Chain A
Amino acid sequence: MTKIRVVHYMNQFFGQIGGEDKAGIPPFATNDPVGIGNVFQLASNNRYVIVKTIICGDNYAAENLEEVKAKVLEWIKEENPDLFIAGPAFAAGRYGTSCGTLCQAVITELGIPAISAMHPVNPGVDIAKKDMFIVETGDSAREISSVVPKMIRLADKVLNKEPIGGPEEEGYIPRGIRINVRKAKRGSRRAVDMLVKKMNNESFTTELPMPVFDTVPPAPPVSDMSDAIIAIGTEGGIVPRGNPDRIEAHNASKWCHYSIEGIESLKKGDYEVAHGGYDPVPANENPNRVLPLDAARVLEKEKAFARLHNEYPVTVGNVTAVKSAERYGKEMGEMLMSQGVQGVILTST
């Protein structure tokens, strides 16, 4: 039987140091299992061997998270275990936050698998669920005897790279990740079967529950246009000749910004379309039709606003993941605001 070497993280309460009065203690490590650590060893028939237990006060971790993270990573690196277990944290928010943060760091920075368990509303869930499986618990430690076997079963599957079923089947909190898998039947057949069921009022399961989108409230109007710095920007992929930063034609990995200082109008040949989602011929002929610099300069001369900002943000909005698009939008807004821009004309294609 292969032994699995485990480093276990817990707070001062589960570490049997004390309650809230001891929440300020800094992290320390022991080379033995503590408390629930023994339950993990027992429930795994001693396959899991806790080689180090790290205990830290909840308040100390919350107030010094970066320092605690660095210390824990150092200890784990020294130990080089097969698995990192954090918690279970149940509904304890500070404890869950440190568990989530540490698990995420161990997985992404050290490449060591991690497992934890929490209540779905624990703030630690959102920190780490994209990177790991977190077993779903109720809000109290009474469930420990049922939670530990679930954690072991999932951790074993992760360690052995076995296929992992859906959240309900395996008992973990939905991670919000969609992975590609193959079905026995082709898509068209599944669609016809689904329609026949729907028409006969039989139950069916959609393969893609509708995502819920954030709504963005419109910004208030610019109070005084005569005093305003206005920018232009686009997702239409108008870039300097040769696409110097190689913005992808599709699912762009970045946004860029370029100077238009002293430029009256975008000349054919100096700018081009990097976007793969529309007919580029007219905009290659006249790039101003996607990024309207020529018209903006006219309005600037007519004093419709104080001055045109001398940088324009640009990306390619073509089958781009919504998450990336959100981030680019936010970063563009932050850049423009930090440069004193009060309004922006964003063109889309």
Chain B
Amino acid sequence: METLKLRRIKVADVQFGSVTEIQGKTLFINKEELISLLLEDKQLQSVDVKLARPGESKRIVPVKDVIEPRTKLDEKTYTFPGFFCDPDFISGRGTTIVLDGAAIVTSGKLVNFQEGLIDMSGKGAEYSVFSKKNNIVLLFEPVPGLGKHEHERSVRNGGVKAARFIAEAVKNFGEYEEAEYPAATLLELLGSNAALPKVVYICQTIAQGLLHDNYFYGLNAQGCLPVLMNPTELMDGAVVSGNCAAPCHKHTTYHHQNNPIIEDLLSEHEKKITFLGVIVAPVRTAFVEKERICNQVFKIAQMIGAEGAIVSEDGGGNPEADLMMLTRLFEKNGIKTVLVTDEYAGSDGASAGLADVTPEADAVVTNGNGNERVILPPMDEVIGHIECVDVITGGHSGSLLPDGSVAMEIAGIMGSTNELGTENLTTWAI
């Protein structure tokens, strides 16, 4: 059976240094080298790099994406397939180097409202996995007059480049933990234990225009039909996020690389279930596209013999139409379905939290109400542009308080109600 080995190198601190390397558990970054690599993109006027570690009094805003540094051990294979590499290899196999504990955070001038905030300490840090990372923050400033789409592309590409480059620079470091994941064929899967319930996982990915796009193997998902993937392909960066739907519930590239539903399904694979694979499904706006895509997802699930499914939402609002449509299709045809979502139940929690519903959706996991209001304490240092908190999703005019506190909805905190279930927030009816 083909497998993917994840070789996790532990990173407990990040510092600037003269060489990009790892010593002990400290990752050193050669700042000038990284900046000159990123400035190869002529649409960027300037790039700066800042560091933000867990527990520090630092606030990063506006955040576009977060990416875990990963690279391949083997020659002529690459993480983030489709980005700056020859596509002549099969992704999700071999050995992948992971800088576990480090993250690339893309920031700089606001592209559009859907960008978020990461606090490294205080109340805000309770909400986000990214507050627990050693963050390498890339501040991109575009050349004057650059269009929004080009601006977004430059920032997205820069994040991917940096994530691969830093991992590549330290890939031969000798201390690591290795875990092996199956990249099995259908025959191998079905032969393992025919009696176990067969489960497929459907991962929604928004495909709706600027800051609402995702990339499958480098292709904009707007033009894609659903794709069947081995879980290991996502670990290798087969899905890259250009998606900044509300920060609380967008899937960053990091979330796709570390999809916890995949991890938890794999942990039960060959024990309580047979995990058949992942169907990555674009979410478009038009109803005909939703119908087309949901029927394709159902077809693939049925072809491979799924008896149960987990479907995770990406974003909120219209993707709930896809979620409910798919639930009806699955349940009507005997595929038992669990949905993973979050809610917008209003600041008082008294409103209906979803934009679409169906009675068949009787098994739902919710990751919290994004409209909950919080006051985030002032931080000693702001990385990025603090004035953005008044206009980003979750903020409002007056979000930035005179003492530097920020009053906003948790919708503005990166990953706070993540719909892959990365966090442990949920709602409770009183």
Report the bound CA distance from A62 to B418 in whole Å. 48
List B residues at the A interface (Cβ < 8 Å): 112-114, 147-149, 197, 199, 208-212, 245-246, 259-261, 263-265, 267-268, 272-273, 285, 307-310, 312, 316-317, 336, 338, 340-341, 343-355, 357-359, 361-372, 391-397, 409-411, 418-430
Shortest distance from the beta carbon of A45 to any chain B beta carbon, whole Å: 28
B310 near A195: Cβ-Cβ < 8 Å: yes
* A182-231 contacts to B (CB < 8 Å): 182-192, 194-196, 198-200, 204, 206-213
A208 near B359: Cβ-Cβ < 8 Å: no
Say whether A294 faces chain B, with CB atoms less than 8 Å apart. no
Q: Which of B285, B307, B352, B393 contacts A213 (CB 8 A)?
A: B352
A166 near B427: Cβ-Cβ < 8 Å: no
B427 near A179: Cβ-Cβ < 8 Å: yes
B369 near A186: Cβ-Cβ < 8 Å: no
B209 near A183: Cβ-Cβ < 8 Å: no
Most buried by A among B309, B346, B361, B372: B346
Shortest distance from the beta carbon of B267 to any chain A beta carbon, whole Å: 8
A199 near B273: Cβ-Cβ < 8 Å: yes
B363 near A204: Cβ-Cβ < 8 Å: yes
Cβ proximity bits A172-187 to B, threshold 8 Å, 1 near / 0 not: 0011111111111111
Report the bound CA distance from A243 to B421 in whole Å. 35
Which of chain B's residues have a CB closer than 8 A to the CB of A321?
A: 344-347, 351, 371
Interface of B is mostly: loop
Shortest distance from the beta carbon of B55 to any chain A beta carbon, whole Å: 20
B340 near A187: Cβ-Cβ < 8 Å: yes
Closest to A190 in B: B365
Report the bound CA distance from A48 to B212 in whole Å. 57
Known A-B contacts A183-B424, A186-B423; A211 and B357 likewise in contact (beta carbons under 8 Å): yes
Q: Which of B147, B259, B362, B411 contacts A251 (CB 8 A)?
A: B411
A177 near B430: Cβ-Cβ < 8 Å: yes
Say whether A1 faces chain B, with CB atoms less than 8 Å apart. no
A249 near B113: Cβ-Cβ < 8 Å: yes
Say whether A280 faces chain B, with CB atoms less than 8 Å apart. yes
Known A-B contacts A191-B365, A276-B112, A319-B344; A183 and B393 likewise in contact (beta carbons under 8 Å): no
Say whether A318 faces chain B, with CB atoms less than 8 Å apart. yes
B260 near A186: Cβ-Cβ < 8 Å: yes
Known A-B contacts A180-B425, A199-B307, A321-B346; A276 and B260 likewise in contact (beta carbons under 8 Å): no
Q: Which of A199, A209, A281, A320 contacts B344 (CB 8 A)?
A: A320
Which of chain A's residues have a CB closer than 8 A to the CB of B366?
A: 187, 207-208
B429 near A183: Cβ-Cβ < 8 Å: no
Q: Which of B212, B361, B392, B429 contacts A178 (CB 8 A)?
A: B429
A188 near B340: Cβ-Cβ < 8 Å: yes
List, sorted by A's number, 5 A–B pairs whose CB atoms are closer than 8 Å. A164-B430, A179-B349, A180-B368, A185-B424, A192-B267
Report the bound CA distance from A170 to B113 in whole Å. 42
Which of chain B's residues have a CB closer than 8 A to the CB of A179?
A: 349, 369, 427-428, 430
Shortest distance from the beta carbon of A196 to any chain B beta carbon, whole Å: 5
A178 near B370: Cβ-Cβ < 8 Å: no
Report the bound CA distance from A324 to B346 in whole Å. 8
Shortest distance from the beta carbon of A174 to any chain B beta carbon, whole Å: 6
Known: A178-B349, A187-B420, A281-B147. 11 other contacts (CB 8 A): A183-B426, A187-B418, A188-B264, A189-B260, A194-B363, A207-B365, A210-B364, A211-B353, A246-B397, A280-B112, A281-B209
Which of chain A's residues have a CB closer than 8 A to the CB of B210?
A: 279-281
Most buried by A among B359, B419, B423, B428: B428
Closest to A237 in B: B113
A199 near B363: Cβ-Cβ < 8 Å: no
Shortest distance from the beta carbon of A50 to any chain B beta carbon, whole Å: 28
Shortest distance from the beta carbon of B287 to any chain A beta carbon, whole Å: 12
Say whether A159 faces chain B, with CB atoms less than 8 Å apart. no
Which of chain A's residues have a CB closer than 8 A to the CB of B272?
A: 196
Say whether A257 faces chain B, with CB atoms less than 8 Å apart. no
Q: Which of B149, B355, B427 contacts A208 (CB 8 A)?
A: B427
* A59-88 contacts to B (CB < 8 Å): none
The 3 closest A-B pairs by CB, nearest first: A187-B421, A279-B209, A188-B421
Known A-B contacts A187-B340, A253-B396; A181 and B427 likewise in contact (beta carbons under 8 Å): yes
Known A-B contacts A208-B353, A319-B246; A279 and B212 likewise in contact (beta carbons under 8 Å): yes
Report the bound CA distance from A223 to B315 in whole Å. 41
Say whether A322 faces chain B, with CB atoms less than 8 Å apart. yes
